[in-house]
Chains A and B, each alone.
Chain A
Amino acid sequence: MIRFENVGLRYGMGPEVLSDISFEIPQGSFQFLTGPSGAGKTTLMRLLFLALRPTRGLINVFGQDSSDLSPGVLPAIRRRIGIVFQDFRLLDHMTTYENVALPLRVIGQPESDYRTDVEELLQWVGLEDRMDAYPPVLSGGEKQRAAIARAVIAQPDLLLADEPTGNVDPTLARRLLRLFSELHKLGTTVVIATHDIGLMDQYEAARRLVLNEGRLHVYD
Chain B
Amino acid sequence: MSTTEPSQAAPVALETGEPVRRRGNAVVPASGMSGTALVVVIAIMAFLAAITIGLVIAVSDAADGWAGELSSELTIQVVPVEGRDVAVDAQEAARIAAQVPGVVNARVLEEETLRALLEPWLGADFDIEALPVPRLVVVTIDRDSPPASGSIGDALADTVPTASIDDHQVWQERLKIMANTIVSAGTAIFVLVLAATVLSIVFATRSAIAANRNIVQVLHLVGAREGFIAWQFVRHFLLLGLKGGAAGGAIAVVVFVLASWFSGLLIATPAGAQLEALFGSFGLSGDGYIAIAATVLLVAGLTALTAYVSVLRVVRTMV
The one of A89, A122, A150, A154 in contact with B4, judged by C-beta atoms closer than 8 angstroms, is A122
Q: List A177-191 residues whose CB lies under 8 Å from chain B.
A: none
- B220 and A128 within 8 A (CB): no
> Nearest B residue to A69 by beta-carbon distance?
B319
Cα(A120)–Cα(B5), bound, Å: 10
- B223 and A78 within 8 A (CB): yes
- B316 and A71 within 8 A (CB): yes
Q: Is A5 an interface residue (CB 8 A)?
A: no
Interface residues on B, range: 20 to 34
Interface residues on A, range: 35 or more
Chain B interface, >50% SS class: loop
- A106 and B23 within 8 A (CB): no
Q: Is A131 an interface residue (CB 8 A)?
A: yes
- A89 and B214 within 8 A (CB): yes
The answer to whether A75 and B225 touch (CB under 8 A), given A89-B214, A91-B218, A132-B21, is yes
Q: What's the nearest-Cβ distance from chain B to residue A184, in Å?
A: 17
The one of A77, A106, A108 in contact with B219, judged by C-beta atoms closer than 8 angstroms, is A106
Q: List B261-319 residues whose CB lies under 8 Å from chain A.
A: 316, 319
The one of B29, B218, B316 in contact with A102, judged by C-beta atoms closer than 8 angstroms, is B218
The answer to whether A116 and B222 touch (CB under 8 A), given A71-B319, A132-B21, is no
- B221 and A111 within 8 A (CB): no
Cα(A74)–Cα(B222), bound, Å: 11
In the assembled complex, 16 residue pairs joining A and B whose CB atoms fall closer than 8 Å, in A order, are: A71-B226, A76-B223, A77-B223, A78-B222, A79-B223, A83-B221, A90-B218, A95-B22, A106-B219, A106-B225, A111-B23, A119-B4, A120-B2, A131-B10, A150-B222, A154-B223
User: Other than the known A74-B319, A123-B1, A129-B7, what 6 A-B pairs have Cβ atoms closer than 8 Å?
Assistant: A72-B226, A75-B220, A83-B221, A106-B219, A106-B223, A120-B3
